């Protein structure tokens, strides 16, 4: 291969990487604007399931487990939910994020979508940008950019199309250039029409049917070496899983050992509060911890929705993350303390909590966690009990009344 060809392939690689980063970045940034958009002319919906059955006069924001639009919306629509269904027209832009997203009616403006499974069956007036696992598009858009695992374009497009995926399928009429980077397979259906240049990267040259018509010609660049094949992706996934497991175990060992070693007095206090007296007290502490796990996110969400309390919500969110981390760490410590007490047949007051006991708890809890269902229940209960102990100790520290002798001043 000549130096000129090497330089050309390096340039193409850089261009593809830049476009991929821009596509992902634009979708994520656009979706992220949900959390920073001011509350000017906005209607906010927050509940387990939201169904908009009557038109709102302004922008609509939904934070829910399930979100469905059954009435035309005259402005922007933003949804963050497990399942998002657009069953009525959107007059302006749509910013959607969730597990399953189904756009059944037209979006006049831009549609930016992040989801596990995405389906678009009607037109998008301007830009359609999608980042998803399984993507199926039968509606047409002015400009289409997709990053996904399995991508199907079933009905063409009203403008240029750029797709990055593993398994890509094209059919319909495309009124612009089409560029595809497929790491595994590229399929072109019978009767596909492209009124522009068809440029693609794939492990093998695509089988273009005789009935397909491409006005601008075909430019096969070759296999995109920087994208893995399906078999390579599976190998990387397995290797990544093992690396993740090893790193998680090491991180748990380090975090638990450091906390127990650096704060031995506080650690002893948490163990004493959690394991002393009766099982009823342990159950009450676990219930208190569960309440803390659930109530804090609800409070933070309400503060964010009110927009006025966003600053306080950020502080509470940081405190909540620290609370979850400590609850997880002290769950390991509790497991180690229980094992040592059972082995040495000592009460909790006679068990000295050291970093060795804490690391033993990490190993024991990891082994128990591998048991289906039962292991998860044990981990959650211990984390909730340690969280309840942390909340009780924090409350006593913050609100404990002490008598002050004025004569000492």
pLDDT at 40 (0 to 100):
45
Between vectors from CA 202 to CA 126 and to CA 221, what angle results, nearest 5°? 85
Tokens of 280: 């009823």
Answer yes or no: is pLDDT of 409 > 60: no
Q: How confident is the model at residue 53 (pLDDT cuts 50, 70, 90)?
A: confident
pLDDT at 69 (0 to 100):
92
Least confident piece of the model among 12-21, 174-183, 394-403: 12-21
3-state secondary structure of 65: strand
Span 277-300, pLDDT tens digits: 678 888 888 899 888 888 888 888
Q: Which residues pair with 47 in a beta bridge?
A: 64
Share of the chain above pLDDT 70, in %: 81
Rg of the chain's alpha carbons, rounded to an integer?
28
Closest to 84 (Cα-Cα) out of 145, 35, 130, 149? 130
DSSP 107: B
- Which of 34-48, 169-183, 239-253, 259-273 tops mean pLDDT? 169-183
For residue 123, count CB atoms less than 10 angstroms from its CB and return exposed for 0-12, middle for 13-18, buried for 19 or more: buried
Span 178-187, pLDDT tens digits: 999 988 889 9
Answer yes or no: is pLDDT of 28 > 50: no
Q: How far apart are CA 169 and CA 188, in angstroms?
A: 6
Span 372-399, pLDDT tens digits: 888 888 888 999 999 998 988 888 887 7
Share of the chain above pLDDT 90, in %: 29
pLDDT at 26 (0 to 100):
46
Between 365 and 4, residue with greater pLDDT = 365
pLDDT at 349 (0 to 100):
53
Q: How confident is the model at residue 346 (pLDDT cuts 50, 70, 90)?
A: low
- Can you list the pairs that 340-343 forms with residues at least 24 positions away whose Cβ atoms lie under 8 Å? 341/275
pLDDT at 44 (0 to 100):
72
Q: Which helix (H) or strand (E) holds 80?
A: strand 77-86
pLDDT at 57 (0 to 100):
83
pLDDT at 157 (0 to 100):
93
In this prediction, residues 56-72 reach a mean pLDDT of: 88
Answer yes or no: is pLDDT of 188 > 90: yes
pLDDT at 407 (0 to 100):
44
Q: Confirm if 90 and 106 have CB atoms less than 8 A apart.
A: yes
**What are the residue boundaries of the structural domains of the chain, listed by start?**
3-228, 231-399
Q: Confirm if 274 and 389 have CB atoms less than 8 A apart.
A: yes
pLDDT at 350 (0 to 100):
59
For the chain, the residue count is 409
- CA dist 304 → 63, 113, 125, 164, 310 (Å): 11, 22, 31, 35, 5
Q: Which residues contact 163 (CB under 8 A, 6 or more apart)?
A: 144, 145, 146, 147, 148, 151, 153, 178, 179, 180, 181, 182
Q: How far apart are CA 31 and CA 29, in angstroms?
A: 5
């Amino acid at each position: 291969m000549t130096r000129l060809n090497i330089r050309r392939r390096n340039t193409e690689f850089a261009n593809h990487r830049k476009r991929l980063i821009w596509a992902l970045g634009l979708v994520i940034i656009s979706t992220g604007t949900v959390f920073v958009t001011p509350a000017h002319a906005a209607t906010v919906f927050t509940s387990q399931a939201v169904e908009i059955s009557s038109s709102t006069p302004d922008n609509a924001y939904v934070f829910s487990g399930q979100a469905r639009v059954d009435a035309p919306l005259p402005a922007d629509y933003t949804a963050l939910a497990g399942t998002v269904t657009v069953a009525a027209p959107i007059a302006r832009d749509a910013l959607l994020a969730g597990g399953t997203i189904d756009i059944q009616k037209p979006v006049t403006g831009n549609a930016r979508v992040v989801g596990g499974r995405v389906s678009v069956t009607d037109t998008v007036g301007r830009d359609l940008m999608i980042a998803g696992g399984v993507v199926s598009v039968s509606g047409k858009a002015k400009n289409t950019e997709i990053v996904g695992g399995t991508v199907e374009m079933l009905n063409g497009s009203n403008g240029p199309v750029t797709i990055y995926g593993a398994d890509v399928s094209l059919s319909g009429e495309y009124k612009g250039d089409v560029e595809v980077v497929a790491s595994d397979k590229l399929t072109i259906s019978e009767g596909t029409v492209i009124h522009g240049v068809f440029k693609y990267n794939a492990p093998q040259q695509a089988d273009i049917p005789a009935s397909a018509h491409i006005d601008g010609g075909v430019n096969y660049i070759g296999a995109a070496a920087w994208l893995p094949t399906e078999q390579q992706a599976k190998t990387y996934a397995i290797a990544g899983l093992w690396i993740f497991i090893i790193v998680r175990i090491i991180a748990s060992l380090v975090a638990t050992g450091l906390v127990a070693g650096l704060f031995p007095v506080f650690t002893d206090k948490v163990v004493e509060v959690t394991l002393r007296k009766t099982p009823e007290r342990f159950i009450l502490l676990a219930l208190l911890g569960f309440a803390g796990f659930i109530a804090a996110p609800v409070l933070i969400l309400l503060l964010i929705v009110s927009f006025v309390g966003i600053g306080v919500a950020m502080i509470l969110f940081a405190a909540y993350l620290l609370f979850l981390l400590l609850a997880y760490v002290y769950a390991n410590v509790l497991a180690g303390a229980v094992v040592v007490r059972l082995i040495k047949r000592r009460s909790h007051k006679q068990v000295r909590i050291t970093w060795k006991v804490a690391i033993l708890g990490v190993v024991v809890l990891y082994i128990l966690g591998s048991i289906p269902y039962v292991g998860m229940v044990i981990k959650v209960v211990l984390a909730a009990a340690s969280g309840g102990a942390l909340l009780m100790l924090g409350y006593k520290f913050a609100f404990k009344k002490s008598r002050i002798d004025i004569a000492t001043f």
